[in-house]
């Protein structure tokens, strides 16, 4: 088996592991950003947290739609 053939079978597994790890750490990171003080100093970081919530909800909505289909 060539090096390319072996790596192509590892790529989906590696991608799945990366996706799973990102899902595990995303929610706590988003909550930490949203928990920052309500001062102008942290406004940008809180906006990033809000965008993270939107991303999570969008991903959940996408999974729900594909499960129904």
Q: What is the pLDDT of residue 1?
A: 44
Residue 52 CB: number of other CB atoms within 10 A? 18
Tell me the helices (H) and strands (E) count for the chain, helix number first.
2, 0
pTM (global) more than 0.75: no
pLDDT-derived band of residue 68, with 50, 70 and 90 as boundaries? low
Residue 30 CB: number of other CB atoms within 10 A? 19
Q: What is the pLDDT of residue 53?
A: 94
- Identify whether the C-beta of residue 53 lies closer than 8 Å to the C-beta of residue 30: yes
| Model confidence pLDDT, tens digit, residues 8-38 | 677 888 888 888 888 888 889 999 999 999 9
């Amino acid at each position: 088996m060539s090096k390319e053939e072996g790596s192509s079978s590892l790529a989906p597994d590696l991608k799945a592991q990366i996706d799973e790890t990102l899902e595990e750490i995303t929610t706590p990171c988003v909550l930490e950003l949203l928990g920052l003080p309500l001062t102008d100093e942290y406004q940008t970081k809180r906006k990033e947290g809000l965008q993270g919530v939107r991303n999570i909800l969008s991903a959940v909505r996408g999974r729900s739609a594909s499960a129904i289909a």
